[in-house]
Chain A
Amino acid sequence: MLEVERLEVSYGALAALHGVSVTVRPGEMVALVGPNGAGKSTLLKAIAGLLAPRAGAIRFEGKPVSAEPPQQIVERGVALVPEGRRLFARMTVRDNLELGAFTKRAQKERRARLERVYNIFPRLFERERQLAGSLSGGEQQMLALGRALMGLPRLLLLDEPSLGLAPRIVESIFSILAELHREGMSLLIVEQNIQAVLTLAERAYILARGAPS
């Protein structure tokens, strides 16, 4: 599904990843853990196309993605739920979800998909017309996840989905992720909450200072 091989990414002169390899098989749920500043977010951003790698390869479903712009990667079925959620705070919940289905592929199935997301997160339906910025932390994470699902991903990348959330909400988010996993979605999850993620994931990688360990 996803193969990352000896990936090197740097910010200017500062190398953030030196030779990281990660594999996610179809339908697999893989955890990526490691201390702050290890380069976990950098890895996910590089997979999503926001950062250009200096060396190494990223392949999705057998074909390279590392030379493609982010929109092409989304179109092919990779979605990233970024650290800090990055919602469009001044737009409504509904608009955020509609934007999640921007790609041609997702446009076609927008209606049905919206219904599906509202089924998974009834709270989002209740708040459909509210501004995303006015939601609680838990609701915002649901919206970030729902927005990513609107793009019909086959591989979901999640960057610290439990960050700053109450334990009860973390639990419900993780049970939804487990449900998606059961339905066949491939997931790569970065988490500080190691216990929660390790009970769900099939395998885990530990990243320390930009290198696998």
Chain B
Amino acid sequence: MGVPIQLEVNGQTVRQEVEPRLLLVHFLRDVLGLTGTKIGCDTSQCGACTVLMDGHAVKSCTVLAVQADGSSITTIEGLAQDGKYHPVQEAFWEAHGLQCGYCTPGMILSVVDLLESHPSPSEAEIREGLEGNLCRCTGYHNIVRAVQIAAEAMGK
């Protein structure tokens, strides 16, 4: 039995009937074709699937699409405005805060959320704030640098 949902994804209203067991991440990737959001684990731990739901970072593999009914979702595809990258995207580029890039979309959305509540975070706050996002490649060094660069750019 399909359940009708309506939500905003990257500023656009989407109406759809979905199976209750459909996960938000599969709705975004398979129904809407927004494959920037990744799936990296089966256990809700890696954060590769992180999107913003009403402004807060959530793991879209652990939210049912029906639970997102009425909410506003931002994925990595929706972060750039008018063809201009978000300062956090710029900073990841500048600091090379990635290697394979698989964790990067989720990482960037977590950072956007983190900087919202901690506009100038300490290194410890950055590492703690990104506890929910695992990176298999970088050792986090350049990711922390990217967050510092983004914080500075956004504070100006």
| Binding between chains A and B | no
Which residues of B line the A interface, CB within 8 A?
Answer: none
Which residues of A line the B interface, CB within 8 A?
Answer: none
